[in-house]
Amino acid sequence: MDDSEELESSDPGHKETAVTASVSLSGQVMIPEEFRQILGISTPGYVLFRETDDGSVVIEQVRSPAEMEGFAARTGEASTDKAASELLHEKRQSDGVGYDEG
């Protein structure tokens, strides 16, 4: 059952959309196409689930390696001895895209 409904928003003139999606026995949920488009999520791919300070859960796109190509050159960090994963982690932290390193 995937039901879509428009909700009142605290922002005048803006309608929020809510979609109910089922969770499979293995915990899988299909992200509705309209939200995949809004978030820029392509399939197959990855998403990041992040809990905010107020307890809300945010779903974010995780960029593919191809989208990250040239990242260091664009940020002016092309000449470094740091691993790409370390640079990406620092960039995500500076952008406020935190995640638990578990």
- With a cut of 60, say whether residue 43 has pLDDT above it: yes
Task: Give the range of the structural domain holding residue 78, as residue numbers without chain letter.
Answer: 63-96
Q: 28: which strand partners?
A: none
The token pair at 16 is 């929020």
53 and 38 co-located in one domain: yes
73 and 23 co-located in one domain: no
45 and 74 co-located in one domain: no
Separation CA 68–CA 79 (nearest Å): 17
In what helix (H) or strand (E) does residue 38 lie, and over which residues does it extend? helix 33-39
Q: Is residue 13 part of a domain?
A: yes
- With a cut of 80, say whether residue 25 has pLDDT above it: yes
- With a cut of 70, say whether residue 68 has pLDDT above it: no
What is each CA distance from 72 to 2, 21, 75, 80, 90, in whole angstroms? Answer: 41, 38, 5, 9, 12
Q: What is the pLDDT of residue 38?
A: 87
Q: What is the pLDDT of residue 26?
A: 96
Separation CA 71–CA 80 (nearest Å): 13
67 and 42 co-located in one domain: no
Q: Is residue 101 part of a domain?
A: no
Residues 6+ apart with CB under 8 A from 43: 36
- Say what the pTM is: 0.49
The number of distinct structural domains making up the chain is: 2
58 and 69 co-located in one domain: no
Q: What is the pLDDT of residue 54?
A: 94
Q: Is residue 102 part of a domain?
A: no
76 and 56 co-located in one domain: no
Higher per-residue pLDDT: 28 or 102: 28
Q: What is the pLDDT of residue 72?
A: 53
